[in-house]
Structure 1
Amino acid sequence: MDWTTKIADARQRIAGHAQITPVMTSNVLAPVSVALKLEHLQHTGSFKARGAFNTLLLQEVPPGGVVAASGGNHGAAVAHAARALGHRAAIFVPEMAGPAKIALIKRTGAALTVVPGEYANALDAARAHEDATGAMAIHAYDAEATVAGQGTCFAEWDAQGLDADTVLIAVGGGGLLAGALAHWQGRRRVVAVEPATSCALHAARAKGGPVDVEVSGIAANALGARRIGGIAFDLARAHLDDALRVEDAAIAEAQRALWQAHRILVEPAGACALAALRAGAYVPAPGERVAVLVCGGNIAPDPLAG
């Protein structure tokens, strides 16, 4: 598959719709200088808007509109993109999405259904809606248009002058990771980081293919996919350099460090990749240049809600 062309086309397609998010360098967050891309400043607070806009601009939307199942961030991104482009959206989220992300989706005006249980339960409900209405489903991570859209984040980072040997990326279902691997294809080291209590990638690598896992923990409403996407798994087999797990305590500590050092306020998922550096799960080699993708900012509870 020609991912390079797909990502380049997606970047042109979503120009003017997705934000160009800023980058910075920190000398205090880890034992080494760290390049950061602040993708939590993307529309609706996560990288997900890239894949949502790419999908909606690439395909003809039927009269039934669009439908998405989400732990929160994907649903908000699809709802935002649909409203911006004049389409109806039905979003299904599990209760574990939490009040902040549920409120964010409500503000887009989408038809929102909160489903008891986990992401898998919301996905079942979304599929039933798709069958009943003919709405176009936008998968949160395991679709070519979604992966190409997320890949634009890394093409953009390169264009902003990224100077790094290794990039650490949080992984749940794998859409963001797949976008990075599809873009770089071995030209940079990519290290995946997932919570120890929600580790679909680790299980897939151990079993030789995607399998269902139990999910829990402080980042589960963003990184709590029960099964890694097939696209991400295939790209990881070809191009992933390493995959690490971090504990909830390390994620929370990295979240605090981003706020205390730089007044960067992120949700736990947004601090997961940095946690690998701070907790020593990833130890850079002497002289190694390291970068971290800060992926999500929808903290719960919303500190300014009211």
Structure 2
Amino acid sequence: MEPSTDRVFSVTLDDVVAARERIAGSLRRTPVLRTSIDTIDGPVDVVFKLEYLQAGGCFKPRGSLNAVRHARDEELLDDAGVLVASGGNAAIGAAWAARIAATRCTVVVPETAPQVKVDSLRALGAEVHHVGDRYQHAADAAAEMAKRSGALLLHAYDQPDIVAGAGTIGLELADDIDGPLTTVVCVGGGGLLGGLTAVQRPGDRIVGAEPAGSSCLHQALEAGHPVSVELDSVAADSLGATRLGDVCWSTIAGRAVTSVVVSDPELIAARRHLWDAFRILVEPGTATAVAAVLTGAVRPEPDSTLCVVLCGANTTWYVGGQRLVHPAGNRGANLA
């Protein structure tokens, strides 16, 4: 999905604080888990932010609900409700937000969208349309549908309210963890990365982790501006942006943000490690952030707490002949 062409805004701390006020009491304040993991360098202390426990099984409802309620406050939301193009998690976020705000939700997904996510969307009451085999095809169709219907068009990641809502995770981390924090987070279009960057405290660092075959942040930093990238990764269903969002790029400019990449085998191994060690089942994209630590691509700093955001768990996995299912809104991994 390509970013929006509207005027680009940076997201500020004030924007994120306002988002926290809008969504307060309607979504979960997700916990942290202080533990250690066995990395290539030996055991490393880490804090996991368990955002996969959020309503919908991912962080996306934060931004969507912020956008919907902001639009309602500005009298920009009518009976047509909201409309979004997404391969999965952003649509799940929009569906949850619409459900909470008691409005309609229409979703356009590519034909390649994972069935577990499509099933979750329908269970949430969303009207789902399949268009094309790429996110951009779905996005183009969604834009035309919004023009005809008057629905509020939500972007999966490149919209100030979406980014600000995601940033509320950073406010929770600041409340829970004293002192400087090194936060590792997977990157698709950069909505979560941008939101976390907006609330950085002095001494905090943000590290974006990406698969080598889906690395729009890494390539943007190398080029000095967002560029179009080719996708070739098992994690492309959730980290499938072909270009870093302009809102993210504007927000991270001049801030302490770096990027690392990992291979698909490394992120698959990290996903397995989370299950074996903690019985935590996450999406391949989310496991990218864990892989960055396990492989030593990100190492702890002596004056900083290392935190990994586990941001999504809408996935299906077969292990030992049994099917592990973690659909949106589920409270944990079930054997079925």
TM-score range with shorter-chain normalisation?
over 0.9
Letter of the 2:99 partner, please give it: R
1:223 to 231, 239, 254: 239
Q: Distance in 2 between matches of 1:264 and 1:154?
A: 21
The answer to whether the 8 Å contact 2:180/2:303 transfers is no
1:81 maps to which residue? 97
1:24 to 9, 20, 33: 33
2:225 maps to which residue? 209
Deviations 1:78-129 (A, max 9, x none): 0111022111111011233211111111111111012231211211111111
> 1:287, CA displacement in angstroms?
6.2
Q: Distance in 2 between matches of 1:41 and 1:118?
A: 28
Relative to its length, the structure with more helix (as a share) is 1
Q: Does 2:106 align with 1:90?
A: yes
1:9 to 5, 15, 18: 18
How many positions carry a matched residue from both structures? 306
Letter of the 2:31 partner, please give it: P
Q: Which runs of no fewer than 5 residues in structure 1 stay unpaired?
A: none
2:287 maps to which residue? 271
TM-score by structure 2 length?
0.86
1:58 maps to which residue? 70
Q: Distance in 2 between matches of 1:255 and 1:305?
A: 17
The answer to whether the 8 Å contact 2:61/2:93 transfers is yes
1:181 to 197, 211, 234: 197
Q: Does 2:258 align with 1:249?
A: no
What is the aligned-residue RMSD (CA, Å)? 1.8
> 1:163, CA displacement in angstroms?
5.2
Q: Distance in 1 between matches of 2:252 and 2:289?
A: 17
> 1:286, CA displacement in angstroms?
5.1
1:294 to 310, 319, 324: 310
Q: Which runs of no fewer than 5 residues in structure 2 stay unpaired?
A: 1-9, 318-323, 326-333
Relative to its length, the structure with more strand (as a share) is 2
Deviations 1:7-57 (A, max 9, x none): 111111101111100101122344310011000110111110100110111
1:130 maps to which residue? 146
Deviations 1:121-168 (A, max 9, x none): 211111111122111111111111111101101101111235553111
Q: Distance in 1 between matches of 2:299 and 2:100?
A: 42
Q: Does 2:54 align with 1:42?
A: yes
Runs of 4+ in 1 over 4 A off after TM superposition: 285-288
> 1:285, CA displacement in angstroms?
4.2
2:45 maps to which residue? 33
2:168 to 142, 147, 152: 152
Q: Distance in 2 between matches of 1:123 and 1:254?
A: 31
> 1:300, CA displacement in angstroms?
2.3
TM-score by structure 1 length?
0.94
